[in-house]
Structure 1
Amino acid sequence: MKKIYLITIALVGFMLHAFGQGNTLDKVAAVVGNNIILASEINQQYSQYLYQGHPADSEVKCKILQNVLTQKLLKQQAEIDSIAVEDGQVDDELGKRMRSMVQRAGGQERLEQFLNKSLLQYKDEQRPEVKDELIAQKMQAKITENVSVTPLEVEKYYKSLGDSVPKFNTEVEVGEIVLDPKLTKAEKQQFKDKIEGLRKRIVAGADFSVLAKTYSEDPGSAPDGGDLGFFDRTMMAKEFTAWAFKLKAGDISPVFETDFGYHILQVIERRGEQVHARHILIVPVTTPSSLARLKLSADSIYNKLEKKEMTFATAANVYSDDKQSKFNGGMMLNAEDVRTRTTIIPVDKLDPATFLVIDTMKVGEISKPTLYTSADGKEHYRVLYLKSKVAPHKANLAQDYPKIRDAAQQDKINKTLSEWFESRREKTYIKIDPEYLTCSELKIWTKPEKEDTK
């Protein structure tokens, strides 16, 4: 085993030297055991960092390389421990990332222009990297799976904070019942007639792109003539996906409805399990009559709550149109802490409309229905419930034990991982290209090699 290890080191050393001498092949940024990290991997991640709007910063490359080194070390141990991930998990993760990138780029074509390659090609290139990341995450979870903290350790951790004990702003737990206006068939008809008219013009020979730019109410695609680029079966509303994958290239769909409004779409091209299409969207506008009906419904729900005919949680489950909170007892989640799905929210993280209502409420009170406009510009009626309120204070074990326990747990996990990495670094061959040796983050990875005295 010793001889094989030394041969591996010799070969890797030769590769580092060759790439360092300007070989036309990709340069090696670092080696961890038998895993090679190419400079192109670091540069690609750095390009994504810049594309997200961040300013240029050479130190970021150091942090990227540190993360990749960590990942490769975990991957190497995972191979020893026979830890793997299913291809389906990799596909799911890739799908999530691609959808997020397409959304941030403003469409698939814009993203492909930036990448200078097709999304399918980029996805295939990213597959090995994503798989390695998932394996590393699974290995890290195994290392820390038995880490837990006792009440005594939580207390000891709290005392160790000394003057660094955090201060918490006013925190609240707020419930909501959100009611969306519902248009009658007659109220919707004018909007349906409008898009039916556009469809007839297209069938008669009018330019789809011109009409989309002029009439479509989808701000993301209208400037591009309704062009949505390529998308797969997971990226659109189910009704939209059904028509997109049913039609042939050049076909125009009938008018159909989704939660966003009325659509017509035209398939431009089909590429495997992806479709390139464009569409026109007409959004039905809330009418005074629909809001008046909604107000009556909201008042009725409020009266039931006031008379204790049902609990707030039950009313939210039965009546609320907010899909995130209705199955959570109506309670809003702290968007800043998605990991724990906590309902405790600092008041400075509430949207202004919510804060203005609950600011004058007492704990246990339910607000009268209020009309408000959500981030998407739509009007709704909402009933709010102030479940709890904690005044600003310095963290203490009596009030904040769950938070302090979580912090103590994370601190212990970090120490466990730090010890594990230190041990593995001592036993693993690691070499980093001189270009990165000025990075302070990488100093712990570049200890002098010990001579073999055997």
Structure 2
Amino acid sequence: MSKRSCIFLFLATMSLSHWAVSQQPQVIDRVAAVVGSNIILQSEIEMEYAQYLAQGNKASEDFKCYILQQQLTQKLLAQQAAIDSIEVSESEVDDNINARLRYMSGQAGGQERLERFLNRSLLQYKEEMRPSVYEQLKANKMQQNIVSGIDVTPLEVRRYYESLNKDSLPYFNTEVEVGELVVYPQLTREEKQQFRDRAESLRRQVAEGADFATIARLYSQDGGSAPYGGDLGFSTRDRYVKEFSAVAFRLKPGELSPVFESEHGFHFLEVLERRGEEVRVRHVLIQTKPTEASLNRAKAHIDSIYDRVVSKKLDFYTAATLYSDNKETKYNGGMLLNMENQQSRTTLIPVDKLDASVFTAIDTLQPGQYSRPARFTDAMGKVGYQFTYLKSRTPPHQANLEQDFAKIKEAALEDKINRKLSEWFERRRKVTFISINADYHGCDDLKIWLQDSGGTTVAQR
């Protein structure tokens, strides 16, 4: 692993380490390293190593070196975060831990199975995780502060490109620019009534004394919260759709809401706790399903839009902005974005990164053409109709400024960020006491940490 990647690849993944290590033989603990006033225990490294093995990887002592390198990085960042008074709220820690536990419960096959596997309650386990998660979030914020505001000018992009070895420039596969216009069926009030009635019936059971959590587990169609009795944890107003927020932040703890509608279906909720600008609620969701009549109306609607676009009575970008029901693309004029290029937001997408349905839709199209409207099911299970627009198709080529400015700009920005971080770490390392156990002195990942620092790098035993 290169020095650059081992310095900057930071532990920000959902950790299963405690889970995995609970099944591993325990070792007598010792200090693996000291960073300033903080220590890194061998048990912490073994926890992360157990996660690595639990994911099906082969045993590798070198990976323990990599884990220690990441721990050193995290400690250094967290220490500076404390000096700079960077704060992490309890709700941020709670949200992070809850997300980890939802993931772990999914891996284990449910909350009860996870608790049996851990041999402890999730409440107890959450408290065990809290210090580590808190430090990790502080370190992440510190790293974001270090690189905030960094950008590159067009001149810097050109200079970066000219500094590259032309024989080693990347070769890009075929790329396309693709747009889509999506129409979902809209139900009439009468068509929605059966779903509202179902939600009303469940709410009535809760109001008459049935256990809310049991009703949510059995009947709620929100797959993310139903296994937890509908509990959504603490969240701020902006985390929910507006209809949900309006109800959740109006009620007092213990109050049960009436049934209300959002884009997801019909809900009712109970406020469990309020904490400043945050509220913790649990809810039951009954999703609406399209009727055959609503599907026929949606098909007629998108056919009409398609005819106007193809006959050039309406341009595609305007049509998508006005009529598409895909909120992720309609404000881009219907154009899909390359999600691997978050910073540059380029519309150029390698064909091997396209969804299979999109690739099939454009495979026989020429630039400027449209696929016929067709029925589809999205990632959330919603049924609708869409047609696709192929704006451009770029043949395979070696990277150049004319065709690939956005990609080269992203690489130049990453290089500038890495240099900034490298300079920061080097300065902090030189004035910070760092001591690493002699067992790790042969690690390539740790060579830079074994150089002179603010304290002697003592070989601990």
Q: TM-score, normalised by structure 1?
A: 0.75
Check the 8 A contact 2:171/2:398 in 1, yes or no: yes
Question: Structure 2 vs 1, CA of residues 362 and 141 (structure 1 numbering), >3 Å: closer, same or farther?
Answer: same
Question: Structure 2 vs 1, CA of residues 92 and 61 (structure 1 numbering), >3 Å: closer, same or farther?
Answer: farther
Distance across 2 between alignment mates of 1:175 and 1:187: 31
| Gaps in structure 1 of 5+ consecutive residues | 1-25
State yes or no: 1:351 paired with 2:330.
Answer: no
Distance across 2 between alignment mates of 1:220 and 1:181: 24
Equivalent in the alignment of 2:174: 170
Deviation at 1:114, TM superposition (A): 7.1
Equivalent in the alignment of 2:26: none
Equivalent in the alignment of 2:366: 362
| Gaps in structure 2 of 5+ consecutive residues | 1-28, 457-461
Deviation at 1:284, TM superposition (A): 1.4
Check the 8 A contact 1:175/1:332 in 2, yes or no: yes
Equivalent in the alignment of 1:379: 383
State yes or no: 1:67 paired with 2:66.
Answer: no
Equivalent in the alignment of 2:103: 104
- The residue identity in structure 2 corresponding to 1:39 is L
Distance across 1 between alignment mates of 2:314 and 2:127: 52
Distance across 2 between alignment mates of 1:214 and 1:258: 21
Mapping 1:141-152, distance limit 5 Å = 141=148, 149=156, 151-152=158-159
- The residue identity in structure 1 corresponding to 2:69 is Q
Equivalent in the alignment of 1:30: 33
Question: Structure 2 vs 1, CA of residues 283 and 133 (structure 1 numbering), >3 Å: closer, same or farther?
Answer: closer
Range moving further from structure 2, 370-379 or 140-149? 140-149
The residue matched to 2:365 in structure 1 has which SS?
A: coil
Residues 310-339 of structure 1 show CA distances to partners (whole Å, capped at 9, x for unaligned) of 332222221112121111121111123323
Q: TM-score, normalised by structure 2?
A: 0.74
Equivalent in the alignment of 2:323: 319
The residue matched to 1:38 in structure 2 has which SS?
A: strand
The residue matched to 1:232 in structure 2 has which SS?
A: strand
Equivalent in the alignment of 1:270: 273
Distance across 1 between alignment mates of 2:375 and 2:455: 75
Check the 8 A contact 1:192/1:262 in 2, yes or no: yes
Check the 8 A contact 1:198/1:211 in 2, yes or no: yes
Distance across 1 between alignment mates of 2:242 and 2:101: 18
Check the 8 A contact 1:42/1:64 in 2, yes or no: no
The residue matched to 1:178 in structure 2 has which SS?
A: strand
Question: Structure 2 vs 1, CA of residues 42 and 437 (structure 1 numbering), >3 Å: closer, same or farther?
Answer: farther
Deviation at 1:186, TM superposition (A): 0.5
Question: Structure 2 vs 1, CA of residues 221 and 135 (structure 1 numbering), >3 Å: closer, same or farther?
Answer: closer
Equivalent in the alignment of 2:137: 130
Distance across 1 between alignment mates of 2:415 and 2:258: 58
Q: CA RMSD in A?
A: 4.3
Check the 8 A contact 1:75/1:139 in 2, yes or no: no
Deviation at 1:42, TM superposition (A): 4.4
Distance across 2 between alignment mates of 1:181 and 1:57: 53
Equivalent in the alignment of 2:164: 157
Equivalent in the alignment of 2:345: 341
Equivalent in the alignment of 1:437: 441
Which of 309, 313, 317 in structure 2 is aligned with 1:309? 313
- The residue identity in structure 2 corresponding to 1:180 is Y
Equivalent in the alignment of 1:294: 298
Residues 202-235 of structure 1 show CA distances to partners (whole Å, capped at 9, x for unaligned) of 44455555544544333344456x4426333355
State yes or no: 1:258 paired with 2:269.
Answer: no
Range moving further from structure 2, 420-429 or 310-319? 420-429
The residue matched to 2:294 in structure 1 has which SS?
A: helix
Distance across 2 between alignment mates of 1:425 and 1:146: 30
